[in-house]
Every structure is written in C-alpha cells, then in structure tokens.
Amino acid sequence: MNKNKEEIKSLKEYIRKLVREMNVMGNVDGYGTPFAFGKPGNEKAKVKKQADLTGYTPVNENRWLELKKEEAPANAKIDKGISNINKQLAEMEKFMNWYGRLKQESGVTNETFWKRTNKNIYSIKERLMKLEQKIRKISS
C-alpha cells in the first residue's frame, strides 16, 4: 500500500509539472511555421489579395511619406492632389443629389431618420466647415 501512495504522489507531481509547463509555455515549442508572420516585402501583395477577395480597396497609410519621397516639384504634387480632391468631391456631390432626390420623392423627414443618421449629418457638416477653412488657407 505504501508503494501505491508513492506512485500516486509521483504521478501527481508529474501532472503538476506538466500543467505548469503548459501554463507558462502554452505547450508550444516555438514558432514551427516558417512563414507565420510572412516574408518582408510581401505585405503589398497580401493586402491587395485580401482587398480583392473582400471587394474593398487597400488603404495606404504611408501616403504622406510617399508624397514627400516623390521627385516631382511641390507645385505639381499640389496640383495633382487638388485635382484628385475635386474628382472625389464631384462623386460626393453626385451621391448627395441622389439621396436628396430619394428623400424628396419618398417624403422622408429628418424626424424619421435614425438617431445615428442625424448624428452623421452633423459630423459631415462640421468636417466640411473645417475643410472650408483649410481650402481658404491653401488658396490664399
């Protein structure tokens, strides 16, 4: 009977040791997958592939750095940027015309909008006013 107690005790110690190792290491030997975090330089291809699969377009967060690195003169960069902004505003204006027309034709009032819609409209107004100030600053 004494032998059984010793075996049980050693088994308990062994189990405790395994549990401690699992808690500390998560029972992982390390990163066994060679490309778990991808290869350097593949980020653009990976982002483009994911964007294509989901139907979204990739966003380049480092556009400012790329803009600074471009070899074109500053006035050419500004001209190109203002032209792009103008195209984007034309698209926004088109959407606003559609939604305004939809609102008018369906007889929808501001009181029937969802709470977040009025909140978003207010936010857009604020942003447009800030943009107006920035446009004035650039154009002077």
Point out the least confidently predicted range of 61-70, 83-92, 111-120, 123-132. Answer: 61-70
Nearest to 59 by CA among 68, 50, 72: 50
Per-residue pLDDT at 38:
63
Per-residue pLDDT at 110:
85
User: What integer best gives the mean pLDDT of the chain?
Assistant: 82
Tens-digit pLDDT profile for residues 23-61: 555 555 555 665 566 666 677 777 778 778 877 777 667
- Tokens 């377009």: give the residue: 57
End-to-end CA gap in the chain: 97
Tens-digit pLDDT profile for residues 68-105: 888 999 899 999 989 999 999 999 999 999 999 999 99
